[in-house]
Structure 1
């Protein structure tokens, strides 16, 4: 480690060796001892400094922090090598020592100026050099006039170069250490070590360059200069190492004016400049003459001083501009602030207040300055505020106080103040109190309370207030009920009539809801068109209340220029059946959604009470909605086939493709359950499923017909799918893709789902134009009259079991009805198929009426294609071409 006890003892032993050599073994051997011990000491510490630089570079991966230690190490390395070389007997030690000084001094200075915290900017380093140059040249000038100028001309230039380099380098090192911005202990150690090393090596060189070197061969002790130079060269590297060891200490905080190092060292030029003037005057008075060297040194010192003056003037001007800008910003911030800032002294007397005091409280400086702050406060608040302020004076970091302050008009104003102790800041020197007017806070809190608990559009309670009231009722186990409702088709009102009409509808709906509810009931708006009522009535009375509300909301909304017809399904839940408000609200919403499902297609306004089975059904429906997307890709759909046979011969003539969804968790989901949900979800899911079934049916029919079976295939289609623009093209594509005759495909649509409009007739006619036959399924369960069969372009009529299922004790009652349907169909050229044949009596009834074809469990249940093929084999299906 650099600067550790081992290096300390090395330096101490080296110093002892230098002294002993100089005092005991004579000048020549003393010179060799100085060269050896001083050189070895410098080389050891040079190695430590270079290792430190490398370690810093490896740790930070950057050349910036390690450059200072590296250059100091290079300087110590040059010093050690050069001084050690002067001890060689075959070399002239004088020029070697001079070269060592000229090379080592710049390395030391570069290392000092690049140390962290000494000179942070390039401008600061230039100022350090100018400061040192001015001081060093001035001191050399004084020395030259007295002593050095009297040397012999032969050695004067080299000695002058060494002396100039040494003086300037030492001065720069001292200025750099004294004016370090941060890490001052480390900088002082390194600068002291560099200065000692430069003093030692330059003094050593000057001693060896002297013309009178007879002391080298004279007996006795070595000159005192040699001893001093040797001690300096031994102590210098040790101080360098000790300073580098403290480079990791906590950095000191510089003054704002010295932060970039611009002003550092400037006042130090005054003393050497005055000394140079005094020496010059004394020299002239004593009759001395100035040679060229002294004149050149004087001019150099004056030039360095002049340049430093210019830079100092520029620094002062720039710093003054910075201070002026900061003051202007501070004044702007304080003047424009809405908070009032007051500065108090230790006696709590107002010493300064910001301009905002006059704007905010009407307090002029005459009203406040020089008075205790407590004189401006309400008597009831003065003592607590004074206690809080004294607590801050006693060491509390900051505090928050509230008090009533008398303004300039004599009124009491509610205020809130934060107090910060700024006595340590010389610019402030007191307690800073930031005062804010909070007189409007109470009114604001009341307003916020109203906004928090009330719906801003309708004036009803909002969801937060409603949930809080319901939660309280559940917690207290009070009997009561909760009603949830939502206006149907409300979104279309805004789309058709604009947001203003929609807002008026909401306001009118809220008025009707408030009028229908009881005096102790709590109506609320929960969402865009969602409302709720909290009542203490039991479930039966709550049902009656829900009915009144649904009736009131079903009345037309008569608005200026508009009449809006809406309805609302209402769900009712018992509070005692729920654990908390959210659960009760969920129960009511489940009942409301159940009411909407049951009212779909009707007039609306239905009321339902919560039942647990509703929630089970809702969960199942939600699960189906989530699982329907991607059902084809997962391979969960399947198609079963049910044969259609001739009732007389029991020979199969066709089959019906029946969709099945086999879900791994939900089990088998019937089409009647999931197809309406698929149509409601949209996104083409229902169309995708319908086309998939169509292609599966055509592919299976194509396979059977390739095997020579003369069959046709019927496929069910919903009314929405039939009305789709791409359905006819999808049917044509399926027929062409699987190469089946168009007349072998029968498209079935249920009678109850068939829309009574011209477009449906047009779509059925389009299927006929493709060659595809059409069928009306489950005839007898819908509103289609027999007379309407004449205008419907259908080829097959599939009568429902409801037409031929005879009531008990009325045998033969169904035969005339079926006979009429079959007779009319035969005259219209429509084939009739009896669906749902389950018993032989069913077959007898339809056969007696003249129906030739039938379908049902009596003939064969729906099954997979391979099982149906086995049925076809058993009944010897006629082969094509036979």
Structure 2
């Protein structure tokens, strides 16, 4: 009877393989054996690729079939030197014993990989080796996971060996994540505001709210570093809420104190837009700060189109119906085509700095492209904002092309709130720009 109980504690019902508990019991023996024989122990963590898609499109039974098929393949390999375990979810683990060299571990893993692929099953794998990578079982497991994640990141359907620098990157990430959480609590994040001007009249159109982070130890950490990390860890949701709240509050403040009639432009991450309550949050903020939606511009990047185009368009239409403006950022740098512009409910198109930089070159290719984009979207009824304008020649050309708005260091750098307030209060010298810095 106790044998039966042991079996259920150690056997995975679906696949009949040993489970994680059994591995955690076995690992001490496996490493002791390797140490005694002076051999290596290889651990291969296998994570089936795109399991979510298989389950979503073909139902969970299809997912279970893939797992059973995977287990069958692994059972073929389970001999004296190889033990297979199902780790739960779509993860399996192979322990490869008595290996004299790294090559023999690699050969086994390659053979397993080919067997899976020949059965049309793709997986990302991570290898860690005792004693080369560590002698501690917890470390080895963690390292297989880090290596497997790297394999996923590098494009899936491959096996990656653990390397110490991966752990460094991993620790840096964890460290940054902890710092980000603390930064939210301690208000180490702050917003700066970059002015946008009408090209022809020079009038202020409004400001784009941009996020900054000052860390006591690391100094200024750029958005290019922390935004992707915040998206990867999901922290972008809290940070995004903070940005919306702060920008709405500032806008209300400027309207009350300086009768500011301009626009506040706020960047939204694809993850924020995906949240079921996003539209409701925006509605509540408009009520909370008693703002006219026409003064708020939601700035999106082409990234929102990748996963679920229809859902994204639906949400943007809801925002548009509430009365907010919608702006598409860095147009022309990604995979966006003009066909997007037909389906997205936009008011404004931002032309990326990379176009503006080459606009004054002699051969005129960038200039022609920029000119045709401006002409075409103007016909569609959109306003255009040129980003990253840093030279007078660029400004003159954009004027000729009938671009509407300019944003860039030439006319105004991103500024702290107090500079903006002083500027709105009539103190023109509060503006920080390349022009004012020269004089």
Same fold (TM over 0.5): yes
Whether 1:732 aligns to 2:292 is no
Where structure 2 has 5 or more consecutive residues not aligned to the other structure, the ranges are: 432-439
Aligned to 1:717: 268
Give 1:55-94 correspondences, 5 Å limit. none
Report how many aligned residue pairs link the two structures: 417
1:700 to 250, 269, 275: 250
Structure 1 Cα separation of the partners of residues 114 and 398 of structure 2: 48
Aligned to 1:833: 385
| SS of residue matched to 1:577 | coil
Whether 1:754 aligns to 2:305 is yes
Q: 1:512 to 1:806 in 2, by over 3 A?
A: farther
For residues 629-678 of structure 1, the C-alpha deviation after alignment (integer angstroms, 9 at most, x for no partner) is 68644434322222223456665422111223445566655556555666
Structure 1 Cα separation of the partners of residues 289 and 7 of structure 2: 70
Structure 2 Cα separation of the partners of residues 710 and 669 of structure 1: 32
Structure 1 Cα separation of the partners of residues 240 and 130 of structure 2: 45
Q: Is the 8 A contact 1:752 1:781 kept in 2?
A: no
Whether 1:522 aligns to 2:76 is no
| Larger Rg belongs to | 1
Aligned to 2:96: 534
Bigger proportion of residues as helix: 1
Aligned to 1:588: 144
Where structure 1 has 5 or more consecutive residues not aligned to the other structure, the ranges are: 1-439, 558-565, 878-882
1:874 to 400, 422, 428: 428
Aligned to 2:126: 571
Question: Per-residue deviation at 1:831?
Answer: 1.1
Aligned to 2:435: none
Q: 1:634 to 1:567 in 2, by over 3 A?
A: farther
Structure 2 Cα separation of the partners of residues 731 and 832 of structure 1: 25
| SS of residue matched to 1:824 | helix
Aligned to 1:512: 73
Q: Is the 8 A contact 2:293 2:323 kept in 1?
A: yes
Q: Is the 8 A contact 2:49 2:157 kept in 1?
A: no
Question: Per-residue deviation at 1:448?
Answer: 11
Structure 1 Cα separation of the partners of residues 17 and 50 of structure 2: 19
Give 1:90-105 correspondences, 5 Å limit. none
For residues 81-129 of structure 1, the C-alpha deviation after alignment (integer angstroms, 9 at most, x for no partner) is xxxxxxxxxxxxxxxxxxxxxxxxxxxxxxxxxxxxxxxxxxxxxxxxx
Aligned to 1:641: 193
Structure 1 Cα separation of the partners of residues 262 and 223 of structure 2: 24
Question: Per-residue deviation at 1:694?
Answer: 1.6
Q: CA RMSD in A?
A: 4.4
Structure 1 Cα separation of the partners of residues 208 and 337 of structure 2: 25
Give 1:321-470 correspondences, 5 Å limit. 457-458=16-17, 462-470=23-31
Structure 2 Cα separation of the partners of residues 845 and 574 of structure 1: 61
| SS of residue matched to 1:814 | helix
Question: Per-residue deviation at 1:750?
Answer: 0.6
| SS of residue matched to 2:126 | strand
Structure 2 Cα separation of the partners of residues 834 and 547 of structure 1: 51
Question: Per-residue deviation at 1:555?
Answer: 6.4
Q: Is the 8 A contact 1:641 1:865 kept in 2?
A: yes
1:791 to 326, 343, 348: 343
Question: Per-residue deviation at 1:537?
Answer: 7.7
Q: Is the 8 A contact 2:85 2:93 kept in 1?
A: yes
Question: Per-residue deviation at 1:473?
Answer: 3.4
Give 1:82-481 correspondences, 5 Å limit. 457-458=16-17, 462-473=23-34, 478=39, 481=42
Give 1:646-665 correspondences, 5 Å limit. 646-647=198-199, 652-663=204-215
Structure 1 Cα separation of the partners of residues 430 and 237 of structure 2: 36
Whether 1:741 aligns to 2:292 is yes
For residues 316-339 of structure 1, the C-alpha deviation after alignment (integer angstroms, 9 at most, x for no partner) is xxxxxxxxxxxxxxxxxxxxxxxx
Q: Is the 8 A contact 1:453 1:465 kept in 2?
A: no
Q: Is the 8 A contact 1:747 1:775 kept in 2?
A: yes
Question: Per-residue deviation at 1:458?
Answer: 1.7
Q: Is the 8 A contact 1:480 1:537 kept in 2?
A: no
Aligned to 1:359: none
Q: Is the 8 A contact 1:837 1:843 kept in 2?
A: yes
Q: 1:708 to 1:450 in 2, by over 3 A?
A: closer
Structure 1 Cα separation of the partners of residues 111 and 356 of structure 2: 44
For residues 354-389 of structure 1, the C-alpha deviation after alignment (integer angstroms, 9 at most, x for no partner) is xxxxxxxxxxxxxxxxxxxxxxxxxxxxxxxxxxxx
The higher-RCO structure (CA 8 Å, 6+ apart) is: 2
Aligned to 2:241: 691
Structure 2 Cα separation of the partners of residues 537 and 618 of structure 1: 30
Q: Is the 8 A contact 2:356 2:388 kept in 1?
A: no
